[in-house]
Structure 1
């Protein structure tokens, strides 16, 4: 009987040290609470159900063990469907998808606020890197391979490491 408990204990320890096989995505409400407890850099990924490049990134780059490890260890990772009709409370404000009332693929206010570019149409996928003070440092509006995503993430990792 003691042997069974020892084996179960060792297996539970091993499971605790095993690398996760997926990204710990969170929503904006969870991010809001997490940032007040422990500030750290934020990675935001805006996507849509119809976005072919988003799906390709989810099949490839976001399943890469190195990407998963880096995002889970060094960042808060937020994933949001840009066409969501959910009401989201973040930073003391409420955000909605006002466009959904009049447009077929209306974009939510949060992606429009964070991932819009002057004089350019909103495009997906939209990837943002923010520092621990929630200041946007880098943005990308295209498909990134695993190697390109790792380079993208390393840019903010180096910036935040140099400051600490």
Structure 2
């Protein structure tokens, strides 16, 4: 009986630990509403259902406890299907996917108007928005936890505002010492 009780307690702690390490994803509209009450930057994961590197980003980077904790503390996180059929209200405009085909829900589909607005041409792309919901930068491709850490911290601290050239970025990149394991 004690063994069963210990297993139940251990499973409960493991469950609590797992949920504490997950990113608190919200919809795009929710992030914009939250931002009005408590200004934070927004991180938008622009993914598609068929994208292999998008799945790797979910599994290897967004499940990383250090990434999840940092994102949850400093950003509103949005997971957005860039070929989905959600309706998003952004910058006084309603964005949809008028050519969305439900039969292609898990294959290549029409790009969402919001993905076009952000000029997304590859998946995954993480779009960072400032406290006014203006685009800071889209970051293309799969990011390991230490690589994503660079952008998370650079944008959080507004260090990107001092980077005026590729040379400036290279110097910032070289000086950056990642702390996240990955």
The answer for the alignment partner of 2:6 in structure 1 is none
TM-score by length of 1: 0.76
Mapped contact 1:87–1:95 kept (Cα < 8 A): yes
1:145 Cα shift? 0.9
- Number of equivalenced pairs: 141
1:139 Cα shift? 1.7
When the two chains are superposed, the root-mean-square deviation of aligned CA atoms in Å is 2.6
**Alignment gaps of 5+ in structure 1:** 1-14
CA distance, structure 1, for counterparts of residue 143 and residue 75 of structure 2: 18
The answer for the alignment partner of 2:175 in structure 1 is none
CA distance, structure 1, for counterparts of residue 96 and residue 127 of structure 2: 20
1:19 Cα shift? 7.8
CA distance, structure 2, for counterparts of residue 129 and residue 156 of structure 1: 8
CA distance, structure 2, for counterparts of residue 146 and residue 32 of structure 1: 25
Residues 24-75 of structure 1, C-alpha deviation per residue, up to 9 Å, x if partnerless?
0111121121122111111111001110000001110001111001100000
1:159 Cα shift? 1.1
Mapped contact 1:32–1:91 kept (Cα < 8 A): no
The answer for the alignment partner of 1:87 in structure 2 is 87
Mapped contact 2:47–2:123 kept (Cα < 8 A): yes
CA distance, structure 2, for counterparts of residue 19 and residue 52 of structure 1: 24
**Alignment gaps of 5+ in structure 2:** 1-15, 162-182
CA distance, structure 2, for counterparts of residue 79 and residue 35 of structure 1: 16
The answer for the alignment partner of 2:123 in structure 1 is 124
Mapped contact 2:86–2:97 kept (Cα < 8 A): yes
Mapped contact 2:46–2:79 kept (Cα < 8 A): yes
Corresponding residue SS for 1:133: coil
Residues 118-156 of structure 1, C-alpha deviation per residue, up to 9 Å, x if partnerless?
xxxx21101111211222222211111111011111111
TM-score by length of 2: 0.69
Q: Structure 1 22/105 Cα, relative in aligned 2: closer, same or farther at 3 Å?
A: same
